[in-house]
Amino acid sequence: MTQTIATIIVTYNRQELLTQCLDAVLAQTRIPDRIIIVDNNSTDGTPEFLQAKGYLEKPIIDYVRLTENTGGAGGFYTGMKRGYEAGYDWLWLTDDDGYPAQDCLEKLIQLNQEFEIIGPAVVSPEDQNILTWKLRVLENNGYFSPRMYLNTYDELTAKSEGGIYLNQANFFNGILVNKNVVKKIGYVIKELFIWGDEYEYYLRCKKFNIKICTQVDAMFFHPIKSVSVNELKFYYLVRNLFYTYFKYAEIMYAPSIRLFYPFYLVVKYLRLTPSFSPFYLAQVIKSVFWAIQGKLIPYN
């Protein structure tokens, strides 16, 4: 039985990169059945640009323009909900600044009988041996190995079994999600807004024993970017880290590490603070206080 696939692309003010992503998706050896573009209320003329380029005339494309910028989390929430409610078997999720190799989707969907979430190897287009984001290494008991990661494609290949790296994937960068995952654990938490929504979703999958893997032969390209942190981004980064940690600590690290890890987070990210304004720091501390208790306070 043929599996139906909807691609979800979340975009905001990146016309040229969106074009690169769209063209790569349309050129797949296994073309998706639907391409849902979620535009987070771009201010650079994205709808006019897509219209002029002829993308919006293609029957395969469903263009959704939001009335406000809901962040990556809100964009993926909207896209996943739209694809799931339309009845597609699989949702193929990506930001607008990455793009798949031509046979990426074909190779991912080959594992549809064995896994519920299938990710590609996400590599730098400038050096395809470098993983854009390092992958965690898990211990035999399922906990994260502290400070141990896979950084290169060669390391990923060496750790894989039959071309499959078990229990890990880079989420929302060419990740293929089965509809039953959504049925079981729900959508992305839109209130996370930016930075950490994909990590929370991965940990939620881990908690519910969703079958996850990276298909090493499926390639997805994403540039490595330097991290620039302003007050808004730092707020969400720190808030979301503490929210996620206190929600999932018991499946992340061994008991001997859990007590000390929050202090490690404080030391690690304090140096990134963009402002030492008492008002701003009070706002961040307040957000962390409520995040630890499971409540997400938006930046104001």
Q: What are the phi and psi torsion angles at 139 (to 5°)?
A: -80, 170
Q: How confident is the model at residue 48 (pLDDT cuts 50, 70, 90)?
A: very high
The number of CA neighbours under 13 Å toward the Cβ of 84 is 20
Whether 214 and 235 map to the same domain: the answer is no
Task: Give me the torsion for CA of 13, 16, 22, 25, rounded to 10°.
Answer: -120
pLDDT at 227: 79
pLDDT at 147: 84
Q: What is the mean pLDDT of residues 135-155?
A: 94
Average pLDDT taken over every residue of the chain: 97
Out of 166, 194, 221, a domain closes at: 221
pLDDT at 273: 94
H/E segment holding residue 6: strand 5-11
Q: What is the mean pLDDT of residues 112-116?
A: 98
43/25 Cα distance (integer angstroms) = 24
Q: What is the per-residue DSSP string for 7-54? A: EEEEESS-HHHHHHHHHHHHT-SS--SEEEEEE---SS-HHHHHHHHT
* Helix intervals (H) in 179-221: 179-185, 197-207
Say if residue 1's pLDDT is above 80. Answer: no
48/68 Cα distance (integer angstroms) = 17
Whether 189 and 249 map to the same domain: the answer is no
- Name the domain count of the chain: 2
Whether 217 and 246 map to the same domain: the answer is no
Rounded to two decimals, what is the model's pTM? 0.96
Say if residue 228's pLDDT is above 90. Answer: no
Instruction: Record the tokens describing residue 83, joined without a space.
Output: 């694809």
CATH (domain of 108): 3.90.550.60
pLDDT at 43: 98
Q: What is the mean pLDDT of residues 100-126?
A: 98
Residue 226 lies in a domain: no
Residue 88 lies in a domain: yes
% of the chain surpassing 90 pLDDT: 94
Residue 243 lies in a domain: yes
Q: What is the per-residue DSSP string for 163-184? A: TEEET---TTEEEEEEHHHHHH
Q: What is the mean pLDDT of residues 208-214?
A: 98
pLDDT at 248: 98
Q: What is the mean pLDDT of residues 221-250?
A: 95
114, exposed or middle or buried, with CB in 10 Å at 0-12, 13-18, 19+?
Answer: exposed
Say if residue 276's pLDDT is above 90. Answer: yes
- What 3-state class would DSSP assign to 110? coil
Out of 167, 196, 221, a domain closes at: 221
Whether 129 and 245 map to the same domain: the answer is no
% of the chain surpassing 70 pLDDT: 100
pLDDT at 80: 99
- What 3-state class would DSSP assign to 219? strand
Bridge-based pairing of strands 34-39 and 61-65 is: parallel
Query: Could you report the per-residue pLDDT of 156-192, keeping only the tens digit for each?
Result: 999 999 999 999 999 999 999 999 999 999 999 999 9
pLDDT at 146: 87
Say if residue 135's pLDDT is above 90. Answer: yes
Inter-axis angle of helices 231-252 and 197-207, nearest 10: 10
Out of 221, 252, 281, a domain closes at: 221
